[in-house]
């Protein structure tokens, strides 16, 4: 977390490595993960020819035919060894691809249509066009809208989202809707009614006489809602900080965090070294930056996740949580940092406590205004080129209008719609290396929302070079669809 004005050149805000972790690239053929994958092979025994101490004065020269036979025999042995090695490698590659395609029938960002085996892109879900053989992509389309978590269901007929009338609604239906958004039922929080806004003219309403038990076949479009209330649904208790009052009343920069202050913040390690930050959104899912998991870091098994711990040294005493799957945004661009977001799924679910809690994803319809107070947190360096710090720090940064960030004297058009700017044009306070992937949050309606993930910047805390973050309001739909597809 930078608090010093030093104007160094452009940097990609990847996790900064302590000491010389990135000082030199591995040699060709070097093992990138020495701790996890051993490259040691059995040593070849050394053959020392025996030299006779008693040698005749007239040694007999070997015949040419004998030498030819030995040479031919050696060549055959070499060919056999090479063929054997190639066969072993070929079998290993074939086994890998068989496993990969069995375990990942839908590659990349594609989502499987139920059990049919048909794979379609995430953009084809809930678009009003039936692409799955059984229509799964259009039949179970639900979302939460606005800061009050209004439950809305998509009608493929009218291609419109409608709020759900509270008439005859129960928690059992709420759990079904949450499950279809990718949440586990054990995190279900509540379902209740809230007064319908005057702008609501049509609703999705339960048909109690329908014999089919499927929720979505029971819902029908209606212009009347007897209760006058629509369903507000909370699938998980998110955005709660035990120290929220202290945060709001003290807006200062560069403070050391306390336990429970940012309970969604996690530290992502490779080989006992902090690389990036991340944010908890469910017991199993984390949000981080796509640039944190590029290249050799795309392997989920090299990562360890630490939650509810503020000090990096304390993390070395714990094994952390293992990562089962990494999903980077399919349209992430490594050069422009467009769509710089990724999901991590843990092998074992987190246990929620006062110090380990999820942050809320922003719902569709939510707008965050310029100058809105946000907070960043992380273990990043305190100046460009510095080392990561031992204790979690945080600082308040206001949102900056995109047009301002795209002006010639700031970032000259580099800030895309998938990004948001936050910080101070005069410099002095900013995110820095090691903060990558970590949260940019704001408090609205007494709930903490994930506005963005730390992405990139020019220098750290340099004048006219504020921090740039992934725009989470753009990514929410993609996150839910991948959570649903990878339950």
d(CA 425, CA 401): 11
Query: What residue spans define the domains of the chain?
Result: 133-234, 241-475
Q: Which of 137, 167, 180, 340 is catalytic?
A: 340
- Please, what is the average pLDDT of the chain? 81
Most trustworthy range by pLDDT among 21-25, 175-179, 201-205, 289-293: 289-293
Question: Residue 462 catalytic?
Answer: no
Report which secondary-structure segment, H or E, holds 172. Answer: helix 171-179
Residue 212 in tokens: 């089919």
Higher pLDDT residue, 474 or 7?
Answer: 474
The pLDDT, as a whole number, for residue 95 is 62
Span of 20-24, 74-78, 330-334, 339-343 with lowest mean pLDDT: 20-24
pLDDT-derived band at 472 (thresholds 50, 70, 90) equals very high
Q: Which of 436, 453, 455, 462 is catalytic?
A: 436
Higher pLDDT residue, 53 or 299?
Answer: 299
d(CA 474, CA 417): 8
User: In this structure, which topology does domain 133-234 adopt according to CATH?
Assistant: Mac-2 Binding Protein (3.10.250)
Please check the confidence at residue 37 and state whether its pLDDT lies above 50.
no
pLDDT-derived band at 128 (thresholds 50, 70, 90) equals low
Q: Which of 109, 180, 279, 291 is catalytic?
A: 291
- The dihedral sign for the CA sequence 483, 346, 14, 368: positive
**Collapsed DSSP state (helix, strand, coil) of residue 104:** coil
The pLDDT, as a whole number, for residue 212 is 64
Q: Report pTM.
A: 0.76
Please check the confidence at residue 175 and state whether its pLDDT lies above 60.
yes
d(CA 487, CA 483): 6
The CB density around residue 378, as the number of other CB atoms within 10 Å, is 31
Name which of 411, 378, 296, 405 is nearest 13 in CA terms: 378
pLDDT-derived band at 32 (thresholds 50, 70, 90) equals very low
- The class of domain 241-475 in CATH terms is mainly beta
The bridge status of strand 373-378 relative to strand 393-400 is: antiparallel
Q: Determine what percent of the chain is predicted with pLDDT higher than 70.
A: 76
Question: Residue 171 catalytic?
Answer: no
Question: Residue 477 catalytic?
Answer: no
How large is the average pLDDT for residues 74-102? 74
Span of 17-31, 71-85, 219-233, 449-463 with lowest mean pLDDT: 17-31
pLDDT-derived band at 14 (thresholds 50, 70, 90) equals low
How large is the average pLDDT for residues 409-416? 97
């Amino acid at each position: 977390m930078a608090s010093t004005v030093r104007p160094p050149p452009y940097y990609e805000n990847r996790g900064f490595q302590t000491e010389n972790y990135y000082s030199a690239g591995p040699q060709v053929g070097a093992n990138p993960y020495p701790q996890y994958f051993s490259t040691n092979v059995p040593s070849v025994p050394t053959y020392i020819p025996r030299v006779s101490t008693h040698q005749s004065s007239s040694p007999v020269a070997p015949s040419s035919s004998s030498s030819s036979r030995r040479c031919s025999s050696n060549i055959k042995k070499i060919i056999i060894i090479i063929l054997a090695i190639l066969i072993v490698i070929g079998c290993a590659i074939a086994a890998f691809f068989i496993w990969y395609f069995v375990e990942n029938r839908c590659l990349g960002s594609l989502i499987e249509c139920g059990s049919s085996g048909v794979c379609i892109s995430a953009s084809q879900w809930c678009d009003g066009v039936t692409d799955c053989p059984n229509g799964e992509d259009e039949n179970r389309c639900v979302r939460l809208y606005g800061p009050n978590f209004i439950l809305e269901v998509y009608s493929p007929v009218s291609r419109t989202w409608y709020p759900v009338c509270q008439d005859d609604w129960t928690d059992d239906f709420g759990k079904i809707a949450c499950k279809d958004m990718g949440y586990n039922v054990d995190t279900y929080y509540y379902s209740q009614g809230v007064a319908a806004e005057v702008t609501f003219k049509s609703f999705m309403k339960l048909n109690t006489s329908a014999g089919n038990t499927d929720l979505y076949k029971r819902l029908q479009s209606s212009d009347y809602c007897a209760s006058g209330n629509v369903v507000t649904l909370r699938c998980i208790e998110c955005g709660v900080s035990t120290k929220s009052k202290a945060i709001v009343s003290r807006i200062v920069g560069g403070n050391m965090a306390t336990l429970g202050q940012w309970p969604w913040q996690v530290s992502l390690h490779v080989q006992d070294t902090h690389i990036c930050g991340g944010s908890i959104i469910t017991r199993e899912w984390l949000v981080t930056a796509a640039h944190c998991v590029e290249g050799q870091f795309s392997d989920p098994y090299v990562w360890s996740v630490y939650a509810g711990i503020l000090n990096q040294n304390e993390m070395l005493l714990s094994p952390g949580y293992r990562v089962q799957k990494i999903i980077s945004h399919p349209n992430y661009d490594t050069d422009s940092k467009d769509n710089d977001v990724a999901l991590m799924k843990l092998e074992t679910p987190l246990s929620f406590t006062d110090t380990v809690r999820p942050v809320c994803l922003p719902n569709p319809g939510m707008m965050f205004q310029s100058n809105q107070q946000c907070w960043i947190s992380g273990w990043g360096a305190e100046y460009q080129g510095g080392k990561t710090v031992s204790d979690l720090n945080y600082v308040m940064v206001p949102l900056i209008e995109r047009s301002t960030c795209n002006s010639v004297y700031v970032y000259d058009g580099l800030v895309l719609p998938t990004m948001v700017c936050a910080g101070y044009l005069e410099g002095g306070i900013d995110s820095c290396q090691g903060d990558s992937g970590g949260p940019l949050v704001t408090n609205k309606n007494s709930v903490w929302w994930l506005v963005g993930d730390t992405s990139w910047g020019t220098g750290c805390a340099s004048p006219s070079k504020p921090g740039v973050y992934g725009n989470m309001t753009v990514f929410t739909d993609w996150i839910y669809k991948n959570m649903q597809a990878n339950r």
